[in-house]
Each structure stands twice: as structure tokens, then as C-alpha cells.
Amino acid sequence: MDKMKKDFTPTLLDLGDVHIYLARHFGFCYGVENAIEIAYRTVEENPDKRIFLLSEMIHNPHVNDDLQQRGVRFLQDTKGNQLVPFEELTGDDIVITPAFGTTLAMEKRLLDIGIDAKRFNTTCPFVEKVWNRAEQIAKKGYSVVIHGKPAHEETRATFSHSSVNTPVVVIRNMEEAIALGKYVTGERDSSAFFEEFAGRFSTGFDPTRDLRRIGVVNQTTMLASETQAIAEHLKEAMIHHYGLTEETLADHFADTRDTLCYATNDNQSAVGGMLSTDADIAIVVGGYNSSNTSHLVELCEEKLPTYFINSADSILNRDVILHYNFHIKKELRTTPFLPTHQPAKILVTSGASCPDALVEEVIRKIAGFYQSEAGMEELTREWTME
């Protein structure tokens, strides 16, 4: 009913003593759904083949565990460390490329064994869109600045696909964008660049030469607002340094706003809409190593107590919750966590790699603490009839 996706107000589940406000947009995006569908279909259609995943299919432990139980093995962990030696692979094996994509070097390594990594490719179309846009601006003489987490599989893949065409540098956040801007304007000596951005620039990168014309793309799971702010800051640095006008801006800065992932935008905008509600706490469900989920947590944390959990099992009872602090990379135990007054008002959302069933389990568990299971069933019947 909201085809233009302009309404970001949450859905209220009025369960009497507890009010659950569910984000308007949450959970699986198209890229994740597509990747999971391809992976499970590959398993079903190839019962006599050994099947491997380059790394985690998506950053959700429940999905990855289920695939492993079906016999799928991971070749690497999320950091690129080897779990299965390549020497064990043969040309008869199947290797699935995860939703994050992979590097050109990895594609070649598999092809040398006789495995075509593109045959069972689940790379998200929006990740590929970033690669294509980076290639387009590279042909026009722009260098590429990637806003992303350097160790993340998607960022490594984007770096690989971009650096064959043009100079590339990866920045983590606005602080590093400000630092990069000072190399653009000459406020910092270019010799310091190589230490400050060590391990995050392409071979032969020359900041004096390669920061004259740039375009900004991102790891699709980053905060879209931060990517836009970073691009705006670097654009302003270009304008002031070169005295650019709207007519001459393209001489030094490429417009890449069309690379931002719609699903990331929708989920983050829905959290913004959800936070306009007068609530007590927020619960965000997703894999602890999920980048897009951690950014939803980050947004919620700005306004109210937020608990980042991976399933309903993290809620031990009415008083105790196990939740992840991604800032210090540690699981914490908090008690009590539920509001003591009634109705308790709780915001709920999930990351793009989190199955809807996990969100439902969390809501049902909370409803049980308030003896509201009947209310849940009544709402379910009403929505089914609609």
C-alpha cells in the first residue's frame, strides 16, 4: 500500500501490557533472498557433488549453520583465512560465491583448478551495480574512494574489481574523509598518506596525482547518510581547492549517488521513522558480524537503550538478556532490561540478513512475558483475513 516507500512510521502491535513497534522495513533484502535461493537450489540439484562456499553466505549464523548441516563447507572465514586447503578442491566441485561477491584473484585461482566461480554466483545485484559504476567513472579518468570496512568481504571485492581500472583508496568513516580531504587540498604532505592509509590503497597510488579527480562509492551495508556526508565533504574540498562551479564540478568530482543500496536506505529510514515513537527500549535482531545490522543498532543507540541480539535465545528470561556490544566486540549480560511500567513500549527491527522467523520468535517471547500470547494470535488472524 506504500509503493513509493514514503511512509516510515512503524507498525504497532498493541498487546495490552506491551506495545511492540515494528519497523516499516526490516529483514531480508532482495540480494539476500536471491543468494539464499540460489544456494539452497544448488544443494538440492547437486546431491552427489561436494559443495563449498567461499565464505559465509550472509552474515547470519542461523542460515550459515543450516547450510553446513546440509553438507556445505566454507573455504574461508570472513577475514579471508583458509579453512579448507585449495589443494583439496577439484574441477568436479561446486563453489558458491556469496552475496558479498569475491575478488578477481579468487576467481582466477578457482578457474585454474577448473571451477567457474561465476556459475554459482550469488553476488548481490546492488554490489555489482557499485562495481559497474566504479568502472564507468574509471573510464572517465576518476580515481575511486570506497567508503567501507577494509576487512569486509564486500569491500575487498569492490577494491579488487575497481583497482584493475583505476587508482583506489578505502576510507572507514568521516574522520578519515576529512584527513583525505587535506591531501586533496595539499594541507597535508602527500608523503604522510602512505602511512595513514597503509594497506588500503592500490599499487602505485600517488595522492598528488590520483586525488585530482575522484568518485565515492560504498560498501552497500554502510550508513547511507554517512556515505552521502563523506561524498559531500570531499566534493566541498574539491570546490574550494579548484574554485569549481556547478558547471565545472564534474571536472574533478563524479556523481555516484545512484550506487547507494535501496534496501539499506529503506531499513535505515524505517529506523528513523521508528525512533520518532516515544518508546522505552529498542531490540535489533541480526548476526553479530553483520555490518548493516550494526548500523541499525548505531542509529537506535543515539536515542534509547538498545539491545543487539541474534535470536530469541538471547533473551534468557523476563529479567536477563544477552546482547552484543559491537563497539567492543563483546557479548554482555544485562538485568533487568524490560521496562517496569505498563504498557512497555519496545521498538523492534532486524538486519538485511535476518530471517523474519527470528523476529517473530523474539516478539512472541516478549509477548509471553506479558501474558499476551492470545493477543499475538488475534492479531495474526486479523492480518491473515486482510
Cβ(109)–Cβ(136) below 8 Å: no
> Quick count: other Cβ atoms within 10 Å of Cβ 260?
20
Rounded Cα distance, 129 and 177, in Å:
23
Active site residue 246: no
DSSP 249: G
Buried b / exposed e over 121-149, threshold 16 CB at 10 Å, is bbbbebbbbbbebbeebbeeebbbbbbbb
Tell me the CB-side half-sphere exposure of residue 99, using CA atoms within 13 A: 27
CA angle, 162 then 35 then 227, to 5°: 45
Q: Half-sphere exposure (CA, 13 Å, Cβ side) for 157?
A: 24
Give the C-alpha separation, 28 to 282, whole Å: 19
Indicate which residue of 153, 154, 176, 298 is catalytic: 154
Radius of gyration of the chain (CA): 23
Residue 351: closest CA among 384, 308, 383, 322 = 308
What is the grid cell recorded at 47? 546431491
For residue 216, list its beta bridge partners.
145
Strand partners for 21: 12, 347
Helices vs strands, H then E, count in the chain: 13, 14
| Order of strands across the sheet that contains 306-309 | 11-14, 18-22, 344-350, 281-285, 306-309
d(CA 252, CA 234) in angstroms, rounded, equals 10
Q: What Å distances lie between residue 45 and 38, 41, 49, 280, CA to CA?
A: 10, 6, 9, 48
**Which residues belong to the active site?**
154
